Amino acid sequence: MKELEEKVRYRREQIEDDVIGIVTGMIRDWDEDFSGAVKGETQLIADLDFPSLDIAVLVAEIHRFYQQKHLPFERVFLSNGLPARDIQVAALVDFLYEYLND
């Protein structure tokens, strides 16, 4: 397992720091008084009130950060063919860990 982890290009901890940084940066742009901490268990809709447009922008910012295009984010945002009720930051991190290291 350690040998497998050493082969990955992106460590999970680093991805989590990156995603939290992107989300926090987005919130600070519209709420300069924001002082909460975004964590892995933070939910984009319930905790941060992200409408679908903000989620689309988050996807674009993640693509931009990692210099990627067209990562299959539907695997995170859809569940049984329907829009997911909410998305945890940790779920995004898990998805990126899998696909960035693919």
Partner 1 sequence: MYRTLLIGLDGATFKVLDSLMNDGVMPFLREFLARGVRADLLSTPNALTPPAWTSLVTGRTPGHHGIFDFVHAEEGAEGLYFTLNMSYDIRCETIWSIVSREGGSVTSLNFPVSYPPWPVNGHVVPGFTHWKHLRRSVHPPEFYETLKTIPGFDARALSMDMNQELKSIQYLPPEEYLGWIEHHIKREAQWFNIARHILEHSPTDLLAVLFDGVDKLQHLCWRFIDPEIFPSHPDPTESMIHERCLDYFRQLDGFIRDLVRLAGPQARIFLASDHGFGATSEVFYANVWLEREGYLRWTEEAAKDAAGFMSADRIKSHVVGIDWKHTSAYALTPSSNGIYIRRADGAPGEGQRAIAAEQYEAFRRELADRLLAFRHPVTGRQFIKRVMTREEAFPGDANSRAPDLTLVLEDYGFLSVLNADEVVKRRPEEAGTHNPLGVFMAGGEGIEGPQALSQLEIIDVAPTLLHSLGMTIPEDMEGRVVTECYQREALARLPLEYAGAAKATAAAAQLETQAAEEPVRMDEDEQEKLFAKLKLLGYME
Task: Quote the least distance from Cβ 37 to partner 1, whole Å.
Answer: 20
Of the two residues 11 and 28, which places its CB atom closer to partner 1 in the complex?
A: 28
Task: Quote the least distance from Cβ 93 to partner 1, whole Å.
Answer: 19
Q: Which amino acid appears at position 60 of this protein?
A: A
Task: Quote the least distance from Cβ 46 to partner 1, whole Å.
Answer: 16
- Residue numbers at the binding site for partner 1 (CB under 8 A): 25-26, 29-30, 51-54, 56-57, 59-61, 63-64, 69, 72-75, 77-83
Strand spans (E) along 1-102: 78-79, 82-83
Of the two residues 35 and 80, which places its CB atom closer to partner 1 in the complex?
A: 80
Judged by DSSP in three states, 35 sits in coil
Instruction: Please give the Cα distance from 58 to 19 (Å, whole number).
Output: 9
Of the two residues 28 and 39, which places its CB atom closer to partner 1 in the complex?
A: 28
What are all long-range contacts of 64-70, with beta carbons under 8 Å and residues at least 24 apart?
Answer: 65/18, 65/22, 66/18, 66/96, 66/100, 68/100
